[in-house]
Amino acid sequence: MFTRHPLNPLITPAHLRPSRPDYEVIGAFNAGAALVHGETILLVRVAERPIKSDPQWIVCPYLDASGEITLLRVHPDDSDYDTRDPRFVRHLPSGNVFLTSMSHIRCARSRDGVHFTIGDQPFLQAETPYEAFGVEDARITPLGDEYYINYSAVSSHGIATGLALTRDFQTARRHGIIFPPSNRDVAIFPRQVNGLYACYHRPMPGDFGAYSIWYATSPDLVRWGDHQVVVQGSRMGWDSGRVGGGAPPVWTEHGWLSIYHAADRTQRYCLGALLTDHDDPTRVLARSSTPIFAPELPYETDGFFPNVVFTCGATVIGDTLRLYYGASDETIALAEASLSELLETLRREPAP
Amino acid sequence: MFTRHPLNPLITPAHLRPSRPDYEVIGAFNAGAALVHGETILLVRVAERPIKSDPQWIVCPYLDASGEITLLRVHPDDSDYDTRDPRFVRHLPSGNVFLTSMSHIRCARSRDGVHFTIGDQPFLQAETPYEAFGVEDARITPLGDEYYINYSAVSSHGIATGLALTRDFQTARRHGIIFPPSNRDVAIFPRQVNGLYACYHRPMPGDFGAYSIWYATSPDLVRWGDHQVVVQGSRMGWDSGRVGGGAPPVWTEHGWLSIYHAADRTQRYCLGALLTDHDDPTRVLARSSTPIFAPELPYETDGFFPNVVFTCGATVIGDTLRLYYGASDETIALAEASLSELLETLRREPAP
**Which residues, in sequence order, are bridge partners of residue B332?**
B11, B326
d(CA A223, CA B218): 6
Candidate from B158, B210, B235 with C-beta closest to A157? B210
**Which residues, in sequence order, are bridge partners of residue A308?**
A269
d(CA B48, CA B13): 9
Q: Give the type of residue at B257.
A: L
pLDDT of residue B177: 98
| Cβ within 8 Å, pair B223-A212 | no
Whether residue A207 has pLDDT greater than 90 = no
DSSP characters over A195-223: TBEEEEEEE--TTTS---EEEEEESSSSE
Candidate from A176, A225, A235 with C-beta closest to B223? A225
Q: CA of A346: how far to CAs of A101, A249, A272, B212, in Å? A: 38, 15, 10, 43
B351 to chain A, any CB pair closer than 8 A? The answer is no
A43 to chain B, any CB pair closer than 8 A? The answer is no
**How many CB atoms lie under 10 A from the CB of residue B196?**
17
Look over chain B and give the mean of its residue pLDDT values, rounded to a whole number. Answer: 96
d(CA A78, CA A60): 14
| Cβ within 8 Å, pair B160-A212 | no
Whether residue B350 has pLDDT greater than 90 = no
d(CA A112, CA B326): 64
Give the single-character DSSP code of A124.
Answer: B
**Which residues, in sequence order, are bridge partners of residue B90?**
B82, B97
B227 to chain A, any CB pair closer than 8 A? The answer is yes
d(CA A13, CA B62): 50
Kindly list the residues from chain A whose CB atom is less than 8 angstroms away from the CB atom of residue B214: 180
**Domain spans, chain A:** 3-347
Kindly list the residues from chain B whose CB atom is less than 8 angstroms away from the CB atom of residue A181: 203, 205, 208-209
Interface test with A, best of B227, B228, B231 (most A CBs within 10 A): B227
pLDDT of residue B275: 97
To the nearest whole angstrom, how far is the Cα of A241 from the nearest Cα of chain B?
Answer: 10
Residue A196: closest C-alpha in chain B: B223
Candidate from B97, B130, B203 with C-beta closest to A181? B203
Whether residue A215 has pLDDT greater than 90 = yes
B218 to chain A, any CB pair closer than 8 A? The answer is yes
Residues A192-206 have pLDDT tens digits of 999 999 999 999 998
Whether residue B351 has pLDDT greater than 80 = no
Name the percent of chain A lying above pLDDT 70.
100
Residue A157: closest C-alpha in chain B: B209
Interface test with B, best of A91, A133, A174, A208 (most B CBs within 10 A): A208
> The CATH number of B3-347 is which of 2.40.50.140, 1.10.760.10, 2.115.10.20, 2.60.40.10?
2.115.10.20
Q: Give the type of residue at A161.
A: T
Cβ neighbours of residue B305 under 8 Å, at least 6 residues apart?
Answer: B86, B87, B267, B328, B329, B330
Q: Which residue has the higher pLDDT, B257 or B207?
A: B257
Cβ proximity of A199 and B150 under 8 Å: no
Of A346, A296, A307, residue with least CA distance to A330: A307
pTM over 0.90: yes
Question: What are the backbone angles phi and psi of residue A177, rounded to the nearest 5°?
Answer: -90, 120
The predicted model gives A168-179 an average pLDDT of 97
CA B35 to the chain's CA centroid: 18
Name the percent of chain B lying above pLDDT 70.
100
Residues A82-102 have pLDDT tens digits of 999 888 999 998 888 999 999
SS3 per residue for chain B:
CCEECCCCCCECHHHCCCCCCCEEEEEEEEEEEEEECCEEEEEEEEEEEECCCCCCCEEEEEECCCCCEEEEEECCCCCCEECCCCCEEEECCCCCEEECCEEEEEEEEECCCCCCEECCCCCECCCCHHHCCEEEEEEEEEECCEEEEEEEEEECCEEEEEEEEECCCCCCEEEEEEECCCEEEEEECCCCECCEEEEEEEECCCCCCCCCEEEEEECCCCEEEEEEEEECCCCCHHHCCEEECCCCCEEECCEEEEEEEEECCCCCEEEEEEEECCCCCCCEEEECCCCCECCCCHHHHCCCCCCEEEEEEEEEECCEEEEEEEECCCEEEEEEEEHHHHHHHHHCCCCC
The predicted model gives A216-237 an average pLDDT of 95
Rg (CA), chain A: 19
d(CA A193, CA A217): 8
Interfacial B residues in 228-267 facing A (CB < 8 Å): 228-229, 235
d(CA B193, CA B141): 14
Interface test with B, best of A99, A227, A282 (most B CBs within 10 A): A227
